[in-house]
Structure 1
C-alpha cells in the first residue's frame, strides 16, 4: 500500500531535501512511524512529547482535514495523498 506524502519546506532537511515521499501505512499513526524510520527526527517535529499531533501542524488526506475524520486513526488506502501543512500565524 503506497501513500504519497507531501513534505513542507521546513521539514525537507529531515527528508534529504525531498518534497514528496512514498510510505507504506494503513493509518496516519502508522504513517508517522514509517516516516520516522526513513527520516529520523521528523516525528518529533510533528508530535509533542506525549506522542500527540502538534496543534499547529495540519494533516490532510486527499484534501480532507484529519481533524474532521478520525484524527491519527484516519485510515489510509493505496494511492492516498497526505499533505503535512504547518499553520501560519501572524499579523
Structure 2
C-alpha cells in the first residue's frame, strides 16, 4: 500500500452531527481484505473508511479537527500502521 495524497474538507451536511471532516486518501495497493484498513490523523481516528468509486483511494470521516501538522497513518488492523509523511492542514473553505 502506498499513499500519495490526502485531501481534507469540511462536511456541510454531515450524516452524523459528531462528524466534521471528510478525508479522501489517494494512492495504490488498497486491497480489500477480511482484515480492515484503519487510519488516523494524529490521535483522531478516521471512521467509516470505504474505497473510492475508481478504486484509487479511500474516503473516511473524522469527528474532530486534528492538530495542524498531525500525520496521517494507515494500515491493516493486523499490522503496524504505516507512516505516510502526509500532515494535516485545515481546509480553507
Higher strand share: 2
**TM-score computed with the length of structure 2 as normaliser:** 0.36
**TM-score computed with the length of structure 1 as normaliser:** 0.37
Report which structure shows greater RCO (CA 8 Å, sep ≥6).
Answer: 1
Higher helix share: 1
